């Protein structure tokens, strides 16, 4: 126990006095949240005062497509100017509209401006939703799909273009709220590098060899290092947590203890994962490489960078450590399914514990 | 014996690093372990300290064997101090914190630890910089702190793997004097170095290793005598008579005597102690100077291994 505290205190000092580690683990995350949060919040935040996108339409106003463009829902998004083709192209060239849409022989075609506008893609997506509905209806009419399935499909498409408030808690996360969570989770995963650096110094370097030939017991050594890197990493995560709330106004909800517990769970997981990789690969540099690749992959599949639909694989990816942490934190902040949150939190802690135990058992021989 | 290694074998794939090595050290000895690069010195230390497992052989330290279990290993480790070849320090901790950390890992605590830390800093000349990080130290100061971390717990056996590499002469003298002092106080020392003169200066016994085996073992004098069969004495004589070489050749042990201008070169068998007899024979002449070729450990090493000690060094 005495050696555990000795290793813990020294490891803690080592981490905090390492200027590169502190710069990377505090400065970098703040920068990431700042860049992503600010860049994206001005673009897709629900607080953004959304102006309908100007579109020129060469369309019969009393046809299905014409009626669709004139519908109340669509008018929230698109400001449609029904005109003839030459004038539509003139408007486009003068940058007065973001898109020209034309219906000809039952086909819908769009013309984009030569200089890209950020809202063109939104307009294209809305037009595309009409095409999908039309296609689905055609399939149904041809008898290729069951009408009940069609109605389900239409509901989905409808939800794509209908503005609704979030069903959870009456509050909608802004871009910076979303990225603060996903980036903080990713950053805490990256603090596993903290652990790797400490393990490298204290077990896999000249200094580490010197430590290994002292009478210190391996449980005290590994436990002390794990505790030091976990506490250091967690505190560094807390700096980012507080900074995001105070400086960027990120909303962390009312259940702060649950959020902090989840962040601790992901920190513990990252440290255990780092030790596991180190002992499994028996090579600190390989472990560092594997750690980086794994973190980017886990963040990607959890939608940490951008929300992606992975289809059937989604069910598996929701058990990635990032996803588990996201579920619990977003649930804690905006109101979520309590039993799902509890099981995900327990699973997150279980991952860390199991990895650590496996790593310890694997390493017993190598470190003997 | 403080430690013995019998028939120890260590292989790294096709390379045999230790080839049935036999090595033993008595309590209180200061043993110099010499060998060209790749001769197995560092592997010997790694096996001895338990960092590397031997493939075969028997190793006993303090009459205990690592096979005797955890408590035996812990006891052995507590009694050994190791100074690795490279600096093994925490650069973000101060000199004092480094010493205290390793002291605590060896079980030294409280007032004893504080006293020993102060003593170690004092004896290594680091008291004034105790609170500073080793990053700000000169090479010599870092090396001294590197040694300090190995002696803070007052080990019975101190193992040093080339501890003076890159050290200025002043720091080197400081380190060597310090090692002699702790050896006088009873610490057994196993010392490897590339600097032959250091080994000659401080070690009571020298083992020369090559290809994973000890090929020569003895005091510096014994080793030089065992491999050098002749010694050379050169006299500078003002006007050497033609009869002088003949007179010198009659001295027992002299194998040849040649005169060239003023230089009279005499070779005789090693250890014959002929200098005084030669001077007696040459006394009637005006002797301007005398020089004797000093047989060094380097000569012995070269003769035994066929290599210079620093061969292949950058």
**Interface contacts (A, B; CB < 8 Å):** 61
Per-residue model confidence as pLDDT tens digits over B31-49? 999 988 888 999 999 999 8
* DSSP codes, B205-267: EEEEEETTEEEEEE-HHHHHHHH--EEEEEEEESS--TTHHHHHHTSTTEEEEEEETTEEEEE
Task: Give the bridge partners for A202, in sequence order.
Answer: none
Cβ-defined contact of A215 to B92 (cutoff 8 Å)? no
Span A170-184, mean pLDDT? 72
Which of B92, B131, B132, B157 has the most A C-beta neighbours within 10 Å, making it the best mutation to test the interface with A? B92
CA distance A363 to chain B (A): 15
CB contact under 8 A, B84 and A210: yes
Confidence of residue A148 (pLDDT cuts 50, 70, 90): low
Torsion of CA B204, B210, B214, B215, to 10 degrees: -90
Between chains, do B109 and A2 touch, taking CB under 8 Å as contact?
yes
Whether the per-residue pLDDT at A225 is higher than 50: the answer is: yes
How far apart CA A201 and CA A211 sit, in angstroms, is: 10
Distance from CA of A200 to the nearest CA of B (A): 12
Instruction: Flag if A10 and B49 touch (Cβ within 8 Å).
Output: no
Three-state SS for A85?
helix
Task: Using CB atoms within 10 Å of the CB of residue B64, give its burial: 0 to 12 exposed, 13 to 18 middle, 19+ buried.
Answer: middle
Residue A44 to residue A42: CA distance in whole angstroms: 6
Which residues, in sequence order, are bridge partners of residue B21? B8
Interface pTM, i.e. ipTM = 0.80
What confidence tens digit (pLDDT) does each residue in B55-75 have?
999 999 998 886 777 788 888
- The tokens of B3 are what? 């430690």
Q: Does A64 touch chain B (CB under 8 A)?
A: no
Q: What is the pLDDT of residue A157?
A: 47
Backbone angles phi, psi at B227, to 5 degrees: -115, -20
Q: Which regions in chain B score pLDDT beneath 70? A: 66, 228-229, 271, 294, 307-314
Q: Which residues pair with A59 in a beta bridge?
A: none
10 Å Cβ neighbour count for A34? 16
With contacts defined as CB-CB under 8 Å, which chain A residues touch B82?
210, 213
- pLDDT for A21: 67
- Say whether pLDDT at A160 is over 50: no
Which chain B positions have a beta carbon within 8 Å of A216's beta carbon?
A: 105
Task: Enumerate the residues of chain B whose CB falls inside 8 A of the CB of residue A205.
Answer: 88
pLDDT number for residue A269? 93
Mean of the per-residue pLDDT values for chain A? 78
Radius of gyration of chain A (CA): 27
Contact of A105 with chain B, judged by CB distance below 8 Å, is answered with no
Interface residue A211 vs chain B (CB under 8 A) = yes
Task: Measure in Å the smallest separation between the Cα of A250 and chain B Cα atoms.
Answer: 35
Name the minimum distance, in Å, from the CA of B231 to any CA of chain A: 45
Evaluated on CA atoms A180, A185, A186, A189, the torsion sign reads positive
Interface of B with A (CB under 8 A): 49-51, 74-75, 77-78, 80, 82, 84-90, 92-93, 97, 101-102, 104-107, 109, 149-150
pLDDT at A45 over 50: no
User: If you count them, how many residues does chain B have?
Assistant: 314
**A5 min Cα distance to partner chain B (Å):** 10
pLDDT number for residue A176: 75
Q: Is A151 in CB contact (< 8 Å) with chain B?
A: no
In the stretch 15-34 of chain A, residues with CB closer than 8 A to chain B read 17-18
Q: What is the pTM of this model?
A: 0.70
Give the tens place of pLDDT for each residue, A18-29: 776 667 666 766
In whole angstroms, what is the distance from residue A266 CA to residue A348 CA?
A: 7
**pLDDT at residue number A305:** 62
Nearest residue on chain A to B98, alpha-carbon basis: A10
- CB-closest option in B51, B107, B149 to A212: B51
A261 touches chain B (CB under 8 A): no
In this structure, how many other beta carbons lie within 10 angstroms of the beta carbon of residue A219? 12
Q: What is the pLDDT of residues A101-144, one digit of tens each?
A: 888 777 788 887 765 566 777 787 777 777 666 665 555 555 54
Q: Which residues from B are below 8 Å from A14, CB to CB?
A: 90, 92-93
Determine the pLDDT at residue A343: 93
Distance CA A41, CA B150 (A): 57
Question: What residues in B contact A203, CB-CB < 8 Å?
Answer: none
Facing residue for A214 by CB, picked from B84, B93, B106: B106
Handedness of CA B158, B163, B169, B170 (dihedral sign): negative
Chain A residues with CB under 8 Å of B86 CB are: 206
Instruction: Please answer whether residues B268 and B253 qualify as being in contact, where contact means their C-beta atoms are separated by less than 8 angstroms.
Output: yes
Give yes or no for residue A158 having a pLDDT over 50: no
Chain B contact for A218 (CB, 8 A cutoff): no
**DSSP state for residue B67 in the 8-state scheme:** G
């Amino acid at each position: 126990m005495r050696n555990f505290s000795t290793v813990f205190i020294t490891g803690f000092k080592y981490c905090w006095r390492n200027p590169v580690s502190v710069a990377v683990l505090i400065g970098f995350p703040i920068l990431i949240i700042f860049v992503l949060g600010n860049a994206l919040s001005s673009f897709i935040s629900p607080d953004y005062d959304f102006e309908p996108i100007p579109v020129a339409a060469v369309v019969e106003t009393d046809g299905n497509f014409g009626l669709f463009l004139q519908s109340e829902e669509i008018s929230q998004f698109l400001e449609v100017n029904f005109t003839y083709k030459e004038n539509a192209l003139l408007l486009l060239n003068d940058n007065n509209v973001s898109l020209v849409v034309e219906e000809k022989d039952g086909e819908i075609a769009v013309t984009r401006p030569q200089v890209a506008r950020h809202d063109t893609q939104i307009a294209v997506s809305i037009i595309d939703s009409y095409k999908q509905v039309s296609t689905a209806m055609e399939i149904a009419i041809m008898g290729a799909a069951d009408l009940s399935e069609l109605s389900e499909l239409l509901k989905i498409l409808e939800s794509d273009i209908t503005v609704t408030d979030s069903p959870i808690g009456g509050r909608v996360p802004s871009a910076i709220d979303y990225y603060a969570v996903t980036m903080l989770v990713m950053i805490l995963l990256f603090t596993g590098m903290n652990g790797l650096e400490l393990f490298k110094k204290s077990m896999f370097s000249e200094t580490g060899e010197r430590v290994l030939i002292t009478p210190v017991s391996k449980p005290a050594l590994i436990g002390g290092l794990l505790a030091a890197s976990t506490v250091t990493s967690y505190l560094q995560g807390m700096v980012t947590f507080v900074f995001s709330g105070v400086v960027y106004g990120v909303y962390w909800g009312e259940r702060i203890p649950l959020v902090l517990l989840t962040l601790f769970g992901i920190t513990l997981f990252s440290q255990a994962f780092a030790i596991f990789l180190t002992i499994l690969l028996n090579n600190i540099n390989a472990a560092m490489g594997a750690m980086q690749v794994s973190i980017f992959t886990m963040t990607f599949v959890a939608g940490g960078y951008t929300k992606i639909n992975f289809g059937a694989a989604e069910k598996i990816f929701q058990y990635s450590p990032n996803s588990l942490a996201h579920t619990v934190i977003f649930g804690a902040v905006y109101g979520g399914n309590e039993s799902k949150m509890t099981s995900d939190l327990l699973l997150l802690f279980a991952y860390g514990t199991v990895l650590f135990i496996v790593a310890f058992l694997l390493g017993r021989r190598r470190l003997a | 014996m403080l430690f013995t290694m019998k028939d120890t074998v260590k292989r790294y794939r096709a390379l045999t690093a230790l080839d049935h090595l036999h090595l033993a050290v008595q309590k209180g000895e200061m043993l110099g372990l010499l060998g060209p690069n790749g001769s197995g010195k560092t592997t010997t230390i790694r096996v001895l300290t338990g960092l590397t497992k031997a493939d075969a052989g028997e190793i006993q330290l303090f009459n205990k064997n690592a096979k005797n279990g955890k408590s035996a290993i812990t006891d052995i480790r507590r009694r050994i101090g190791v100074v690795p070849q490279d600096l093994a320090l925490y650069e973000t901790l101060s000199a004092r914190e480094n010493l205290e950390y390793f002291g605590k890992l060896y079980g030294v605590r409280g007032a004893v630890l504080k006293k020993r830390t102060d003593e170690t800093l004092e004896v290594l000349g680091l008291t004034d910089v105790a609170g500073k990080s080793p990053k700000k130290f000169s090479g010599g100061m870092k090396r001294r702190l590197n040694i300090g971390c190995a002696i803070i717990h007052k080990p019975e056996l101190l193992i040093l793997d080339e501890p003076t590499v890159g050290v200025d002469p002043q720091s080197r003298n400081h380190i060597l004097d310090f090692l002699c002092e702790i050896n006088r106080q009873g610490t057994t020392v196993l010392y490897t170095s590339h600097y032959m003169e250091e080994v000659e200066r401080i070690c009571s016994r020298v083992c020369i290793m090559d290809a994973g085996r000890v090929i020569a073992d003895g005091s510096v004098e014994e080793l030089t005598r065992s491999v050098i069969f002749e010694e050379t004495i050169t006299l500078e004589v003002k006007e050497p008579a033609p009869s002088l070489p003949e007179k010198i050749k009659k001295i027992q042990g002299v194998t040849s005597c040649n005169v060239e201008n003023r230089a009279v070169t005499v070779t005789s068998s090693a250890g014959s102690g002929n200098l005084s007899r030669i001077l007696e024979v040459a006394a009637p002449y005006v002797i301007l100077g005398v020089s004797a070729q000093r047989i060094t450990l380097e000569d012995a090493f070269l003769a035994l291994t066929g290599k210079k000690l620093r061969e292949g060094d950058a």
